[in-house]
Amino acid sequence: MISTTQANKKTGKVPAAFLKLAAALCWILIWFIASRAVGSELLLPSPAATLARLWELARQGDFWLAVLQSLLRIVAGCALGIAAGSVLGVLTAVSRVLYELFMPLLTVVRSTPVASFIILALVWIKRDNVAIFIAFLMVLPILWGNVSRGIAECDRDLLEMAHVFRFSKKDMLHKVYLPSVRPYFFAGCSTALGLSWKAGVAAEVLSLPRHALGSELYYSKIYLETPTLFAVTLVVILLSVVLEFILRLILKKTAGWEK
């Protein structure tokens, strides 16, 4: 016999899934009505026209190469930003001198418009590496700030106890600092991935590497291929959702291993 709690869990999942599906269908319907009202595929292609164009793109090898190259560039930049931001977060949290030294750099990176960095990157480096550089810059201050804050928020009573009982450096790291930093680090990674993906694609639009989703977006605008613009944008959105889902799984597994 199924318990009441189990029954509630099962019945609770169905409405949630139904509501999400209904919301998605509602917005697709609004999109369809708006495209019919506009009456021009050039201005607003219908969902059917967008999916048809997406199917055409999916049958082209160059399109999949563009997807792969964009993924590699942006994920590489994001990974480098996470690594560098984490290291700087630790260093500036434990050293006042390093904090004062690097804080102006952090302020500049946070305050400068993305477009300015993209244009500067086009002058400094090869166009194929611009998206990597921009993704790196978007992620760096987020992880830097989050890791530094996680260390600063570490329980002082726990630190005192660790010193009294003479914890080894390894125990201090695993039992005191990591539990404090982990939620900030995970939150930073989640935020950084979405931001780096959007900024990386924007960088590709301006730098026009040979195989890239950003280049596809640019050329669809130049040749007035609005269905292509919508189809590629849909791919960018879907990839962003998939990457975030994969990241959450990785972080969840990592948290489980540490426990």
Q: Which domains does the chain have, with CATH numbers?
A: 62-258 (1.10.3720.10)
Please identify which residue in the block is written with the tokens 């804050």.
Answer: 149
Provide the pLDDT for residue 219: 92
Joined together, the tokens standing for residue 57 give: 């793109």
pLDDT beneath 70, residues of the chain: 1-14, 155-177, 179, 255-259
Joined together, the tokens standing for residue 11 give: 């019945």
Please identify which residue in the block is written with the tokens 């082209």.
Answer: 60
Provide the pLDDT for residue 64: 93
Does pTM surpass 0.85? no
Rg of the chain on CA atoms, in Å = 23
Provide the pLDDT for residue 246: 87
Other residues' Cβ atoms within 10 Å of the Cβ of residue 11? 9
Give the C-alpha separation, 82 to 144, whole Å: 8
Instruction: Tell how many helices (H) and how many strands (E) occur in the chain.
Output: 11, 0
Sign of the alpha-carbon torsion through 156, 161, 163, 169 = negative
Please state whether 91 falls in left (phi above 0), alpha (psi between -120 and 50) or beta: alpha
Give the C-alpha separation, 199 to 132, whole Å: 10
Give the H or E element holding residue 73.
helix 61-94
Provide the pLDDT for residue 184: 82
Provide the pLDDT for residue 72: 93
Letter for the amino acid at 251? L
What is the chain's mean pLDDT, rounded?
83
Write the DSSP assignment of 17-74 as a string of letters.
HHHHHHHHHHHHHHHHHHHHHH--TTTS--HHHHHHHHHHHHT-HHHHHHHHHHHHHH
Other residues' Cβ atoms within 10 Å of the Cβ of residue 128? 16
Residue 112 has what DSSP assignment?
Answer: S
Provide the pLDDT for residue 139: 92
Longest dimension (CA), the chain: 75
Distance of CA 180 to the CA centre of its chain: 23
Provide the pLDDT for residue 161: 64
